[in-house]
Structure 1
Amino acid sequence: MAIPDEVLAVLDAKFAAVLPHLDERQRRLYLASEAEALGHGGIAAVARLAEVSESTVARGREELAGGTQALGRVRRPGGGRKSAAERDPGLVAALELLIEPREVGDPVSPLRWTTASLRDLSRELTDAGHPVSAPVVGSLLRAMGFSLQGMAKTQAGSQVPDRDAQFRHINTAAERFLAGGLPVVSVDTKQKEPIGDFARPGRTYRPKGQPITAPDHDFVGPDTPVAIPYGIYDLGRDSGWVNVGTDRNTAAFAVESLRRWWKIQGRLDYPSVDRLLVTADSGGANSADSRLFKMGLADFADECGLRITVMHFPPGTSKWNKVEHRLFSRITHSLRGQPLTSYEVLLETISATRTSTGLTVHAALDENAYPTGRVLTRAERKSAERRVKRDEFHGEWNYTIAPQDPDQQLPADPRDESGPPVPAEATFLLTHPALTGMPREQFEQLVLQLEPCQQVLTEVERQSAGRDGRGRNPGFGTLDHRHRVLVAVLRSRNTVTLTLAAELMGRKRNVLSYHAGRSKPMLAFAGPELARVLVFRRTRPPRTLEALKRVIKHHDNEINSGSS
């Protein structure tokens, strides 16, 4: 157990006052008695404060334990071994070259990149002709005014334009809303918390010698349940609402947290308002660039009849958001030193958070699924942008979403539609054996055989970037499994141009080209019979419907003449 800083400070003051008046043996015995009183770690602490070696204090403990008689000798002034700096006048200068390379070191010297630990410094000094031990290096560094220090996060990141102006803009809007009795909330996601018997930082009062125990190793695996607290802090009422998710931190989860707060708490606190101000950071689930977040807010505005104004803090300034130091800091204080063995423990602990200024917190569990990989279609993106009214001052950070008139219908984007079904005449024509190299019955069997492969391919595409939940690229129209196999076969055999096939099927050529390329790997699972069929490749495929019909007629004539 670490020795408290207060005890060390008292000892330092006592040593400074007493040690100058003691002789060598008295100093040794006195330091040994203090080390004995401190217990474990006392020798090292006393030696460091008194600036003596640990062996001196240990020898004093042995003399106290053995009861040896005093030798009766007191070293005269100036006696004893000279210090390392006195024996080697160039030692201090060599040490300064190592610890301050940017000011006085050689830019190309390997010593410039030496890790500044005591052992490394001792080794480098010895190699440079100044043999010295690590403890002596430590004493020299302390005499030079150095000490072990961690990094302090005080440097501000690169400032974006109008950073401070955005702060003032948010503050002015919040004051205006609060003065009018309108709700102003600050939102953000707190750090994920693993649920289970895991050790947590912090200390709590317990009976002496009875700490809360936890396993010595914390292994958070993929199956470990997690809690994702999304906080909503009401500035006007000094109250917090935490929606604890169990799945993923997505834009849908952020919007659902706001919706739950409004339905359960917000509309009770503000029964007759039609406006809401939300302050958030610029990243994460409620990112300023997230169209999914804006589209979810549009649905929320329509559902609750609220005119929602959103103001994002500039990038790199999320710690200025009120929810961080008004709500999350107090929740962290409540969770200190307590293992979160279940969701119920987490919810009860969060709900018990209080402050002397009147903060109250409510927590609720959200077990809904929020899958990732959701990609908006072109029509959805345009619809979301049309609902957003951007402010004149940094519209990318400040915007308002108003409820939509139920009778108002936004025109759909025809480029995003999958199109009408493929005409049966086109399918019958393109599945002719002259084009596919197989009877129509065999082609239908091939479609059934490759259906499991298509399901796997669709799942892979759904999880890849740029795909929506149906496993397609929003930039290209959809195509059913049967026709995906068909265009893959036609493209491999080159028996008809994709331009002509697209014209017959009522699609664009790039749509067929995309799906043919994505479906071609499936054909390898059909076996050697299909491989023999695909070996054939026409050099000059028909480019017009008339040419296609002539190819089919010629094929039928050959079949009929051969059968006769």
Structure 2
Amino acid sequence: MAIMGDVLDQLSRRFAVVLPHLDERQRRLVLATEARLLGHGGVRAVARVAGVSETTVRAGVFELEAGGEPLSDRRVRRPGGGRKRIEDTDPAVVAALLALVEPDERGDPTSPLRWTTKSLRHLADELTRQGHPVSPSTVRRLLRAAGFSLQANSKTLEGKQHPDRDAQFRYLNDQVVEHQKAGEPVISVDAKKKEMLGQLPNPGREWRPKGDPVQVEDHSFFTGPQGDTAIPYGVYDLTTDAGWVNVGVDHDTSAFAVASIRRWWQARGQADYPQATRLLVTADAGGSNSYRFRAWKAELATLAADTGLSITVCHFPPGTSKWNKIEHRLFSQITMNWRGRPLTSHEVVVNTIAATRTRSGLRVEAHLDIRDYPVGVAVSKARIDALPIEHHTVHRTWNYTIHPTHTDGADSSVAVDAATGSNRAATLTLLAHPRLTGMSTAELDALAERLAPQQAARREQRRYQGRGGPRRHAPGAHGKPLLSPRDRVLVTVVHLRQICSQRLLADMLEVVPATIGQAVTDVRHLLHEQNITIEPTTLRFTRANQVTDYARTGQYDDGRPSVPWELSDPALTGISRGDLAALIEQVSVRQAAAVERRRHQQRGRQRLPGTRGGVFPQKITSGERVLAAILHHRKVCTGRVLAELFGVSHRTIGTAFLEVRPILEEDDIHLPPAPVKYRSAEQLLASIPPADEAAAPTV
């Protein structure tokens, strides 16, 4: 029987309204109900109107005729239907998967995935290769069922911990609590990562119109070393939850770090704490505020003298800088504030930092610091010893207080002298004295003028090699060296004349030793190329005051007691003074040759042109070393007594004995042991009979 067209139209309207709201089983039963009402031909008619298979409608009819109970829990299909899970048909697949994803030390050591990314696709491919065909989605389901999830690295391992780590944390916390209860300022300081300026990518994302991201350079190294930089140094006030950031443009030095604290105090600190008499600074153990840097402490001493505050510094143990409050109270907020934003200029950096706010009340101020802070500046040991530093009883190197008092008014000008170089200029003038250089001022100036072009060429060549190519811009005033070409020639002449060591020169000029070493290396090559010889002198200075006193007065005091004549007494050496002099002359030449041969083997080549030949190997002459070795060989006294008598270290005496003993054995020289072994220098000198000779021999 044909079904009327209007009936089909009514079915179509009902299906359009009802079917989208039904699940699979409900749709099937509704379609079957309509088909049964239509009678013969109803299954085909309903299937065409609904756009489904006749088999689906016929299955619904069979379900209605079977009269089954409704399914529970809103199920669509009866339990047990569908394809079996892979873990049921292949029980070994789970074990094979866990062997791939477990830690490497417990997993399969021969697995191809040991050194590759364990992605879902790679895991599925490897399981399929092993005979367990699965899809990436199945791998995800199996991993989640086994308790796995995507995990990033957890930065919790701190390496070797300092034994005083916890004690320092407790002491630092006690200091913070004590200062805050007394109403004194407590700040946390550190330098943020140096930022390159330009249209460079910055991590993070920011809301923008779709398809309109900020265009930046695809590689940040295009800016190169000539690009501008911003160095944010932060000061975070733990009590008021306020931040101050000094944005530098030169170098992150100790002078820059203390200058940032000084600007914070002038702008905010003295207004927030008008009655303050102390300041507590918490800092990490490295960087420009390292507890090892003399310049950091000298600059703080200047700040203490200018402000009248007693400045206490407590450093975090090495490797624990992340516990510094400024890291997660200030710097992290700044980083989130400029996420996804190119730092194109210093103005952008300053304004973005100053706009940092938090709902907890953090407010930040930022200012640009365009002053120069040259690198390579150092503070002499004499200057640091004169500073009013009081080390605490708990870990003295990490905790100290700098008082605003000075024993000498000149000590408060450390920062000014380091910046202007006035002390350095005075020292250079002193070193240029003819007594030290062996030439007049006019001769020294002529030599410096003669070597100036070659110095400039060598310096430019070294920088060309460091850049890997020519300059991108014309040379500017940035990075002006601490020593002029004439100064470099001067320190080289003094060094080659064997007046003092490079380290002593660096200490006197308040520069790092590398500055003196580079100057000597460059100039001595130029002197060798032009056949200019600097004759050494017999003077040997080991302290700065010896150099200055000799330059001013012409008097020389080596600071050691003159004991070789007394120690050459036959009662101690076992031979006459004449035989001793002959033995010293015989042995000292061979001993010097053996030392040079050993050093040649250590260097692996000949000496570089213009090197001094080892002036201060033991701080005593070759004759004195032979005499000390003879006394040590006869066991006249202990090595420490000899070191005290000669004014050198115990190691120096031991090295001299090791150098001379093989020569004595080779010449079959055997000296009888002394009848008495003295345990102190006083006992040994008291045992020497009064000398009859008028003059001491040269040893």
- The TM-score by the shorter chain falls in which range? 0.5 to 0.7
Q: 1:196 aligns with which of 171, 195, 198?
A: 198
Q: Give the 3 Å change call, closer, same or farther, for CA 91–520 of structure 1 in structure 2.
A: same
Q: Which residue of 1 aligns with 2:220?
A: 219
One-letter identity of the residue aligned with 1:270: Y
The answer to whether the 8 Å contact 1:389/1:400 transfers is yes
What residue is the counterpart of 2:315 in the other structure?
A: 312
Q: State the alpha-carbon separation in 2 of the partners of residues 375 and 461 from structure 1.
A: 24
Q: Does 1:453 pair with 2:454? A: yes
Question: Residue 144 of structure 1 aligns with which residue?
Answer: 146
CA contact 1:377–1:474 (8 Å) conserved in 2: no
Q: 1:70 to 1:289 in 2, by over 3 A?
A: farther
The two structures have a TM-score, normalised by structure 1, of: 0.62
Q: Provide the C-alpha distance between the structure 2 equivalents of 1:486 and 1:107, rounded to a whole number of angstroms.
A: 57
Distance 1:356 1:121, change over 3 A: closer
Query: What corresponds to 1:125 in structure 2?
Result: 127
Q: 1:458 to 1:519 in 2, by over 3 A?
A: farther
Q: How does 1:396-545 map to 2 (within 5 A)?
A: 396-405=397-406, 407=408, 419=431, 421-423=433-435, 426-427=438-439, 448-455=449-456, 469-470=482-483, 474-477=502-505, 498=536, 520=610
Superposition map of 1:230-249 within 5 A = 230-249=233-252
How many equivalent pairs are there?
A: 432
Query: Equivalent residue for 1:395?
Result: 396
For residue 453 of structure 1, what is the amino acid of its counterpart?
Q
- CA shift for structure 1 position 367: 1.2
1:475 CA displacement: 1.1
**1:69 and 2:52 correspond:** yes
Q: Deviations over 1:195-228 (max 9, x none)?
A: 334454455566x648663337352522332322
SS at match of 1:141: helix
Question: Contact between 2:100 and 2:111, CA under 8 Å: does it hold in 1?
Answer: no
How far is the alpha carbon of 1:456 from its aligned partner?
Answer: 5.3
Q: 1:127 to 1:326 in 2, by over 3 A?
A: closer
CA contact (8 A) 2:231 2:247 kept: yes
Q: Answer whether contact 1:308 1:400 (CA < 8 A) is retained.
A: yes
AA of the residue aligned to 1:228: I
Residues 445 and 194 (structure 1 numbering): CA distance in 2 closer, same or farther, change over 3 Å?
Answer: closer
Per-residue CA shift, 1:56-103, capped at 9, x if unaligned? xxxxxxxxxxx9634644798756554444443322222222222557
User: In the alignment, what sits opposite 1:260?
Assistant: 263
Structure 1 residue 445, shift from structure 2 partner: 8.6
Give the partner amino acid of 2:364.
Answer: V
Matched, 1:294 2:304: no
- How far apart are the structure 2 equivalents of 1:422 and 1:255? 39
1:328 to 326, 331, 339: 331
Q: Are the aligned partners of 1:229 and 1:242 in contact in 2 as well (CA < 8 Å)? A: yes
Does the CA contact (< 8 Å) of 1:240 and 1:361 recur in 2? yes
User: Which TM-score applies when normalising by structure 2?
Assistant: 0.51
Report percent identity of matched pairs.
Answer: 44
**Unaligned runs of at least 5 residues, structure 1:** 1-18, 27-66, 429-440, 509-516, 522-564
Picking from 339, 344, 347, the partner of 1:341 is 344
**Does 1:367 pair with 2:380?**
no
Q: Following the alignment from structure 1 to structure 2, what is the Cα–Cα distance between the partners of residues 101 and 203?
A: 33
CA contact (8 A) 2:454 2:526 kept: no
Question: What letter matches 1:100 in structure 2?
Answer: E
- The 2-side partners of 1:487 and 1:352 are apart by 55
Q: What's the counterpart of residue 153 of structure 1?
A: 155
| TM-aligned CA deviation for residue 282 of structure 1 | 1.4
Secondary structure, aligned partner of 2:367:
strand
2:181 is aligned to: 179
Task: Indicate how the Cα distance of structure 1 residues 162 and 426 shifts in structure 2: closer, same or farther if over 3 A, else same.
Answer: closer
Contact 1:378 1:474 in 2 (8 A): no
Greater relative contact order (Cα < 8 A, sep 6+): 1
What's the counterpart of residue 674 of structure 2?
none
Offset at 1:258? 0.8
Q: CA deviation at 1:343?
A: 2.3
Q: How far is the alpha carbon of 1:281 from its aligned partner?
A: 1.4
Distance 1:192 1:520 in 2: 40
Cα drift, residue 257 of structure 1: 0.4
Alpha-carbon distance in 2 for matches of 1:24, 1:140: 32
- Give the deviation of 1:254 after TM superposition: 0.6
Q: Give 1:432's aligned residue.
A: none
2:473 aligned partner: none
Deviation at residue 395 of structure 1 after TM alignment:
1.1
Shift of 1:170: 1.9
Supply the distance in 1 between the matched residues of 2:462 and 2:297 (Cα, whole angstroms).
25
Q: Is the 8 A contact 1:375 1:469 kept in 2?
A: no
Give runs of aligned pairs for residues 5-24 of structure 1, distance below 5 A.
Answer: 22=24
Match of 2:169 in 1: 167
Could you say what secondary structure the match of 1:453 adopts? helix
How far apart, CA to CA, are the structure 1 residues paired with 2:198 and 2:292? 35
Amino acid of the structure 2 residue aligned with 1:328: F
1:14-62 deviation per Cα after TM superposition (whole angstroms, max 9, x unaligned) = xxxxx99746999xxxxxxxxxxxxxxxxxxxxxxxxxxxxxxxxxxxx
How far is the alpha carbon of 1:393 from its aligned partner? 0.1
Residues 486/338 of structure 1: CA separation in 2 closer, same or farther (3 Å cut): closer
Q: Which moved more, 1:353-362 or 1:454-463?
A: 454-463
The one-letter code sitting in structure 1 at the alignment partner of 2:482 is G
Deviation at 1:311, TM superposition (A): 0.7
1:419–1:477 CA contact under 8 A, matched in 2? no
Residues 190 and 358 of structure 1: CA distance in aligned 2, closer, same or farther (over 3 Å)? same
Amino acid of the structure 2 residue aligned with 1:475: R
RMSD over aligned Cα atoms: 4.9
Q: 1:518 to 1:300 in 2, by over 3 A?
A: farther
Q: Report if aligned partners of 1:292, 1:376 keep a CA contact under 8 Å in 2.
A: yes
- The answer for the alignment partner of 1:270 in structure 2 is 273
Verify the 8 A CA contact 1:184 1:278 in the aligned structure 2: yes
1:112 deviates by 4.8
Aligned-partner Cα distance in 1 for 2:295–2:311: 15
Structure 1 position 285, deviation (Å): 1.6
CA distance in 1, matches of 2:330, 2:303: 24
Deviates more, 1:260-269 or 1:355-364: 355-364
Secondary structure of 1:122's match? helix
Residues 152-198 of structure 1 deviation map (CA, whole Å, 9 limit, x = unaligned): 33455543223233222222222222232322111112233343344
Q: What is the deviation of 1:310?
A: 0.5
Q: In structure 2, how many angstroms separate the alpha carbons of the residues matched to 1:106 and 1:209?
A: 46
Q: Does residue 1:351 correspond to 2:354, yes or no?
A: yes
